[in-house]
Chain A
Amino acid sequence: AQKITQTQPGMFVQEKEAVTLDCTYDTSDPSYGLFWYKQPSSGEMIFLIYQGSYDQQNATEGRYSLNFQKARKSANLVISASQLGDSAMYFCAMREGWSNQFYFGTGTSLTVIP
């Protein structure tokens, strides 16, 4: 079974609008971390935001926030007030506490339309 599932291969959003990128995960480990990375066309992987399994509040970092629904095992990334520079590939990842292993989704390509 896939540990991380991103069901949206491609998304479009109008500039200045908000967009939600979906991510569901699968683990039986009670301790885990969820991460989102951005990969612009230049290729580097940029860490955006982190959510821990025991965190009570949704994580926020500037225009990025994480809609964490533990019972549903989902950790959706919300980007508010989209900018042209947000056009990139976005990857969701999970790190399990017991194995220390990272698992990545297949990514969502986001295009911001002017």
Chain B
Amino acid sequence: EAQVTQNPRYLITVTGKKLTVTCSQNMNHEYMSWYRQDPGLGLRQIYYSMNVEVTDKGDVPEGYKVSRKEKRNFPLILESPSPNQTSLYFCASTVQGGAYNSPLHFGNGTRLTVT
């Protein structure tokens, strides 16, 4: 089944404790992206990647890191989480290369709470 898999679904952590949210897709998509969703603000892009070893900042990159060592994986790293990073996070992927008719495929989301 074609899908984007992100883990964990729920995560409660404390301020400053490094964490990684994993994301993997099996559709051979070049484009992958991370979003955070907060009430009233919609989805805001954190980082995106157009291919292996190519990553770029989105609208709200501060406090986050990503890497794209393999095409299928795009982990999100919070080196020192803070309470303002409490949010619902989505990983998504799609076809690259001018295919503006290709929708984003989303993972099921990770609800992160930082205390």
Contact = CB atoms under 8 A, between A and B. Distances in A.
The B interface, classified by DSSP as helix, strand, loop or mixed, is strand
A97 to B, nearest CB: 4
Interface in A22-77: 31-33, 35, 37, 43-45, 47, 50, 52
Interface string A77-114: 00000000000000101011100111011110000000
Given A43-B108, A44-B106, A45-B106, A97 B100 contact: yes
Interface stretch (B13-21, B36-44, B74-82): B36-44
9 contacts: A9-B40, A45-B104, A50-B101, A50-B103, A100-B31, A100-B50, A102-B104, A104-B44, A106-B40
Given A44-B106, A44-B109, A47-B103, A102 B33 contact: yes
Contacts of A35: 103-104
Interface residues of A, number: 25
A6 B104 CA distance: 19
A108 to B, nearest CB: 10
A75 to B, nearest CB: 14
Contact of B100 (A6, A9, A33, A104): A33
